[in-house]
Amino acid sequence: MAIPPEFLEELKARLPATEVVGRRVKLIRSGRDTKGCCPFHKEKTPSFHVYDDHYHCFGCGAHGSVIDFVMETEGLEFREAVQRLADSAGISFPSDEKTILPDVDGAQRNPSADEAEALLDMLIAYATGNSIDEDDFKTKRKTFLSDSKLRGLCPEFLVNCRNLSLFWSHIKKGRPTYAERRAYLGDEFAPLLNYLELKVSDSHLDVASLTLEQLNQTHVMDLWAKALDRKTHDPEGAITVARTLLETTCKLILDDLGVAHQRNEELPKLYHLVAEELNLAPSQHTEKTFKSILGGCQTIVNSLGTIRNKLGDAHGVGRSPARPKSRHAHLAVNLSGAMAVYLVETWADRPKSDTNGIVI
């Protein structure tokens, strides 16, 4: 049976990522950050940052919650990792799961995002070798398919697989590893979860409100990590956050340098202005390799604008929208985050001049 979302939230609240990760990784405090050498790739300089609710490596891109960390480092499946953490926290593992209850007037209430997550967790558990209750699966499946608005957002396999035997035949075909099955199920459930979570406030508003005083590597990396948190349940929103982060960084740098620009300027133009001011334009260099790298940066920025316009949610969606998957969002966010950090570091390290124009 699936694990109730409320139990998972309580578990994560009781076990901060710094505590769980700190049992395996030597963590050090550096200003506001807690970091250490990444356990998922070899490195000498720590790039593995740990926050209360998640970890993120800016070297290899590893990212996740305490449950993900235990799964990856101990080779456990989802349910086993939750059990291990529950034992550690002294929480009784749930023996049963709450069912979908009708409203007081007898009508079944609309399914929530938490219930969709519970169904997803149930299917992931079954797809990775754990047993689940078939009647429970059928009840949850019926809950979503009986709603005319939600049926079209449900994974096609959920419509076709009326029992666990059919689901097992479907999930194992062409997906031999557990990792492939988890990724597939997460992508398939993304449209349904996105729809159910429309009431969740957009984190890109936090990014857009970034101020010049906050424009530093630590703050930008924190926003980068928050954007990554959306890649699975809201890939479209994550792509928008990625674009907004880089766009806002460019605008703040231009404002600080006193360079005029239009507030609604497109990202490629904003980046071009910043690159010229920070001596990052390919035309400002003659060394072939560096010139090529800087040209690649401009290409990345142009591409980020394209992927956001085609797949993100900033311009609405057409009649037949191309829906991004988690991997698209992961790519867009990491590219934007890396570019934003690079610009901030270059801006912070630039030669300073006093009021008389003398370099200090």
pLDDT 10s digits, 164-187: 999 999 999 989 999 999 999 988
What is the predicted pLDDT for the residue at 103? 40
Q: What percent of the chain has pLDDT over 70?
A: 81
Paired residues of 227 in beta bridges: none
How many angstroms separate the most distant Cα atoms in the chain? 78
Q: Name the residue among 47, 13, 10 with its Cα closest to residue 30.
A: 47
Average pLDDT value over all residues in the chain: 80
Q: Answer for the pair 194, 186: CB distance below 8 angstroms, yes or no.
A: no
Pick the CATH number of 5-89 from 3.40.50.10420, 3.90.580.10, 2.40.50.140, 3.90.930.12: 3.90.580.10
Q: What is the pLDDT of residues 3-30, one digit of tens each?
A: 777 788 888 888 899 999 999 999 998 8
Whole-model pTM above 0.75? no
Residue type at 177 in one-letter notation:
T
The answer, yes or no, to whether residue 278 has pLDDT greater than 70, is yes
* Cα dist from 56 to 4, 59, 78, 226, whole Å: 25, 9, 19, 10
DSSP 3-state of 34: strand
Q: What SS3 class is residue 357?
A: coil
pLDDT for 206 beyond 70: no
Position 71 scores a pLDDT of: 87
By C-alpha distance, which of 352, 219, 360, 240 is closest to 307? 240
Return all residues near 224 (Cβ < 8 A) that are at least 6 apart: 56, 58, 245, 333, 334, 336, 337, 340, 341
**pLDDT recorded at residue 49:** 92
Domain boundaries, the chain: 5-89, 113-203, 217-312+324-349
